[in-house]
Amino acid sequence: MQKVDYDLCVVGGGINGAGIARDAAGRGLSVALIEARDLASATSSASTKLIHGGLRYLEYFEFQLVRHSLKEREILLGLAPHIIWPLKFVLPHDKAQRPFWMLRLGLFLYDHIGGRKTIDGSRAIDFAAHQYGDYLQDKYIKGFEYSDCWVQDSRLVVLNAMDAARRGADVFTRTACVNMEPQDGHWTLRLRDTDRGAERSINAKMVVNAAGPWVSGVLEESALDAPDVPQIRLVKGSHIIVKKMFEGDHAYILQQPDKRIVFAIPYEGDYTLIGTTEEDYQGAPAEAKISPAEIEYLCAAFNRSFDEQITEDNILWSYSGVRPLFDDGEDAATSTTRDYVLHEHKEYDAPLLSVFGGKLTTYRVLAEQVLDKLVGREGRWSAGAALPGGDIDGGDFEQFLLQQSQRYAFLPAALSRRYARAYGTAMDVFLNGAHDLSDLGQHIGDDVYEAEIQYLVRYEFARKLDDILWRRSKLGLHVSEETTRALNVLLPQIVQQASQ
């Protein structure tokens, strides 16, 4: 028999693929993670960025999904307290929408079905007596506060891929799988370098297709689709970013007349993130863009609740992603399940498994179940091992920040916080031995130093400008054109050095 390169090849470097690669590498398998573009370049960087049970899914009786997700919320917070943190949500009661008793009941369930330990429970709020009411229209008299978690979504993907690599996996970005073929009890995969076009083949004993919105396309290209393979439903969701519209660390969850909900969330210090929409989508997943109707919907959703009004002119940035939902035959996109299906293609000698649907929140359990199916339950490990940088004492981020600010007293306070939030304990990797800002290499501009970029290239698989400005960070929102230009000049040199 021909030599096999890997035990497992995972196609797709979104949250599901990265999570599966990490779990598999931790169970001792030799793993290749194949990503056609950059890690998290598709749906996993375009989410609302919540690790949540999904309050509104209770309305669709998805109790099992909500329970699992809420349990996972506590676990993930423990694994990565630097990039995941609790966020309070204010839910104004609107007489024209769901009755007060229904919200109270929903929140009671939310508080109790998911084994809540560290995250605060819900409580009723009187807006006349609380600062939460300061920005809302007078029609809101009372409401609720409850908690979920916020996550830096694309960093969650990168940290999973990094951890997979630390545990021995090979991570190939800008490498597309263009064909998979079963051969003599293993899989041969043809890979294409998406920058240079060069092709090569690798083989693996097992393959997981975690290509998100492309999951069916990957099968079709290799003529591996079959009548029993589940269908995917593509649903576009868009967000807009405007200047900060309210003070405080809390978010608002706004009920809409069509029964959907829209969030207004404090974002990146100076901004408010408003989303999301839901529209069935037929186009190419990578081309998804916000439509005029979505802009109108999101502005109207915000304006229905807040005193200060916004229009299209207030939008500073927007992003859109495509949810790869498992098609359960529901008419409305809103009620289509957010749960996932793991399909085993049993007709082949060598294992092939495709992932349909899912949420960021459930990626770790999804990965665990994929590996259980491939190699059995014995080696489960991922619930107890911190992600890179997440080994923060007691998970106490503010205490950690205080220590790091003292240790690296030469850093401006905002930079210290940014490094701690993005890299957690891994900030020591590029700050160790530095006593002064001049020890961090070239100052590229706007508090961006060469040492950080070196780290991103060396350890976080960053290769291009957008990898750094929009996925490893959200510096794209903060830095000047001059800084962007300077980074664009320096980055290829750093990439070149790293590849030597």
Ligand X SMILES: Cc1cc2nc3c(=O)[nH]c(=O)nc-3n(C[C@H](O)[C@H](O)[C@H](O)COP(=O)(O)OP(=O)(O)OC[C@H]3O[C@@H](n4cnc5c(N)ncnc54)[C@H](O)[C@@H]3O)c2cc1C
> How many helices and strands, by DSSP H and E, does the chain display?
13, 20
Q: For 414-442, give one letter per residue: b (16+ CB within 10 A) or e.
A: ebbbbbbbbbbbbbbebbeebeebeebbe
Interaction between residue 47 and ligand X (CB under 6 A): yes
Question: In the set 8, 9, 10, 15, which binds ligand X (CB under 6 A)?
Answer: 15
Least distance in angstroms from the C-beta of 171 to ligand X: 12
Among 4, 31, 50, 245, binds ligand X (CB under 6 A): 50
d(CA 8, CA 207): 6
**Residues 6 or more apart whose Cβ sits within 8 Å of residue 484:** 465, 469, 476
Asked if residue 214 binds ligand X (CB under 6 A), the reply is: yes
Does residue 338 contact residue 57 with C-beta atoms inside 8 Å?
yes
Distances (CA, A) of 127 to 88, 130, 141, 177, 487: 15, 5, 6, 54, 46
Angle formed at CA 257 by CA 231 and CA 316, multiple of 5 degrees: 80
* Phi (first) and psi of residue 100, to 5 degrees: -55, -45
213 interacts with ligand X by CB under 6 A: yes
Q: Enumerate the H helices of 363-449 as residue ranges.
A: 363-375, 397-407, 413-423, 427-431
Tell me which of 48, 147, 203, 416 binds ligand X, using CB under 6 A.
48
Exactly one of 34, 91, 253, 262 binds ligand X (CB under 6 A); which one?
Answer: 34
**Binding to ligand X by residue 36, rule CB under 6 A?**
yes
Please state, in angstroms and rounded to a whole number, the distance separating the CA atoms of residues 453 and 487.
9
Q: Does 37 bind ligand X (CB under 6 A)?
A: yes
The interface mask with ligand X, positions 346-365, x = CB under 6 A, is ------------xxxx----
Angle between helices 363-375 and 63-79 (to 10 degrees): 100
Structure tokens at 417: 């916080």
Which of 13-21, 93-101, 160-168, 251-259 is the region at the interface with ligand X (rule: CB under 6 A)? 13-21
What separation in angstroms does the CA of 345 have from each of 209, 224, 228, 290?
A: 11, 9, 9, 35
Selected binder of ligand X within 7, 9, 12, 255 (CB under 6 A): 12
Nearest residue to ligand X, using CB? 14
Q: How far is the CB of 150 from ligand X (least distance, A)?
A: 9
Would you say 177 or 440 has its CB closer to ligand X? 177
Should residue 46 be labelled a site residue for ligand X when binding is judged by CB under 6 A?
Answer: yes
Q: Least distance to ligand X from the beta carbon of 42, Å?
A: 3
d(CA 314, CA 306): 15
Residue 177 near ligand X by CB under 6 A: yes
Q: Which amino acid is at 112?
A: H
Point out which span in 94-102, 198-206, 321-329, 439-447 binds ligand X (CB under 6 A). 321-329
Choose between 151 and 401: whose C-beta lies nearer to ligand X.
151
| Nearest CA-CA partner of 206 in 1, 12, 31, 25 | 31
Q: Which stretch binds ligand X (CB under 6 A): 160-168, 226-234, 320-328, 343-351?
A: 320-328
Least distance in Å: CB of 33 to ligand X?
A: 9
- Which of 80-88, 89-97, 211-219, 368-376 is the region at the interface with ligand X (rule: CB under 6 A)? 211-219
Binding to ligand X by residue 337, rule CB under 6 A? no
Kindly state the smallest distance separating residue 20's Cβ from ligand X, in Å.
9
Residues that bind ligand X (CB under 6 A): 11-17, 34-37, 41-44, 46-50, 52, 176-177, 210-214, 218, 237, 276, 321-324, 358-361
